Amino acid sequence: MRTFQLHRAVDETGISGTGIVAEGVQFTSGWCAMTWLSEISSLAFYPSIENVEKIHGHNGKTLVVWL
């Protein structure tokens, strides 16, 4: 199991902000759980870290940083 953060350089939607915008964990199975640190928060599950990057990466404007 390992933890990560999403670091966002540009906020395309105006919702999540910039800097560290989310925290997550990748389980041994590959599945990820992630929560947003913004005012409107949610918790989501993804089958892989690649899915997290495809959905939230915004073409490199948001990076997964392993802790």
pLDDT higher than 80, residue 18: yes
The predicted model scores a pTM of: 0.90
pLDDT in the model for residue 38: 87
Q: Which comes out higher in pLDDT, residue 3 or 59?
A: 3
The parent domain of residue 44 ranges over 2-66
Question: What are the residues whose beta carbons fall under 8 Å from the beta carbon of 21, sequence distance 6 or more?
Answer: 6, 7, 8, 11, 36, 37, 38, 62
Number of compact structural domains in the chain: 1
Checking 36-39 for CB contacts under 8 A at 24+ apart, the result is none
Angstrom distance (rounded) from CA 44 to CA 66: 18
The token pair at 42 is 């949610």
pLDDT, tens digit, 9 for 90 and up, residues 23-54:
999 999 999 999 999 888 899 999 999 999 99
